[in-house]
A = this chain, B = another copy of it.
Amino acid sequence: MKLTSKIFNSHPKTDGDFFLGIKNILGFKPKDIEIYKKAFLHRSVNKKDPEGNPMNYERLEFLGDSMLGTIISKHLYNEVPEGDEGYLTKMRSKVVSRKHLNELGKDLNLLRFVESRIPKSHFGENIHGNVFEALVGAIYLDRGYTYCEKFINERVIEPYVDIEQLEGKVISYKSLVIEWCQKQKKSFNYHVYEDTGNDELKHFAVKLTIGDRIMAKARATSKKKAEEKASKRAYFALQNKIENQ
């Protein structure tokens, strides 16, 4: 059947385009571009190397996952001298959580490089984080530790690792609100929609309804942030309500 053998490839058409795309993301030149191609090769393509070994991003993902953990560990070790082993372990697992890595891969739009026989719409969320890890593995093999650390600093640590925020994420207002609704047997609904307005960055707006009442509205650069903001507002509104009852 023709359809099943089709490769769903938004991989830039020429090697030159792929090289430039990767170089843009890395902030430095790849040496061996073939390693990076492997980092975006889905197992469905069923490619083999000249020795007959399967070629896909999964082995690189294994390697990248490990290196990512190490560099985050070193960062946390240096940044939080008062944190013990348990604290460091907990913080690292927050930074390298599946959810977080998926966000990262999505922000870099890595899916555009993925070569696969499965339509991309059929992939789950994890494809984003998986190829991000594979990319880290590719950098490690291609350019060594120092470049790998530089990449992780620029792409993960600087934009995403805010230790105070990570510590503060312990309390999610959204989960507090949901818990309250379930206890009170109230329905709730988070209605999220794009609302970029005049901003350069994409923005999201959210409307939180509890029962038949709009409890809070909020706006932020990510869905999650917007939901959290609205939840916080609703949470305090509900507390006031309870105290005044």
Which residue from B54, B58, B61, B89 sits with its C-beta under 8 Å from A62? B89
Q: A63-B74, A67-B70, A74-B63 are in contact. Are A81 and B49 (CB under 8 A)?
A: yes
Q: A53-B82, A145-B146 are in contact. Are A88 and B74 (CB under 8 A)?
A: no
Query: Max chain B CB contacts within 10 Å: which of A51, A59, A67, A74?
Result: A59
Report B-chain residues with C-beta under 8 Å of the C-beta of A67.
70, 73
Q: Does A158 contact B (CB under 8 A)?
A: no
Copies per complex of this chain: 2
- In Å, the complex CA distance between A70 and B66 comes to 5
Q: Does A40 contact B (CB under 8 A)?
A: no
Q: In the complex, are the beta carbons of B88 and A62 less than 8 A apart?
A: yes
Report B-chain residues with C-beta under 8 Å of the C-beta of A89.
62
Question: Per-residue 0/1 for A81-92: is the Cβ within 8 Å of any B Cβ (1 yes, 0 no)?
Answer: 111110011000
Q: In the complex, are the beta carbons of A62 and B82 less than 8 A apart?
A: no
Report B-chain residues with C-beta under 8 Å of the C-beta of A88.
59, 62
- In Å, the complex CA distance between A140 and B74 comes to 9
Q: Does A77 contact B (CB under 8 A)?
A: yes
Q: Count residues on chain A whose CB falls below 8 Å from chain B CBs.
A: 29
Q: A59-B88, A69-B66, A145-B145 are in contact. Are A53 and B77 (CB under 8 A)?
A: no
Q: In the complex, are the beta carbons of B84 and A59 less than 8 A apart?
A: yes
- In Å, the complex CA distance between A66 and B81 comes to 18
Which residue from B51, B58, B70, B81 sits with its C-beta under 8 Å from A70? B70
CB distance from A140 to the nearest CB of B (A): 7
Which residue from B61, B83, B84 sits with its C-beta under 8 Å from A85? B61
Report B-chain residues with C-beta under 8 Å of the C-beta of A53.
81-82
CB distance from A33 to the nearest CB of B (A): 18
Query: Max chain B CB contacts within 10 Å: which of A61, A66, A88?
Result: A66
Q: In the complex, are the beta carbons of B63 and A77 less than 8 A apart?
A: yes
A61 to chain B: closest residue by CB: B85
Sample 10 A-B pairs with CB under 8 A, ordered by A number: A51-B81, A53-B81, A54-B84, A59-B83, A62-B77, A62-B89, A63-B73, A63-B74, A70-B70, A145-B149
A58-B85, A59-B84, A145-B149 given; 10 more Cβ-contact pairs under 8 Å:
A59-B83, A59-B85, A61-B85, A62-B88, A66-B66, A67-B73, A69-B69, A74-B140, A145-B145, A145-B146
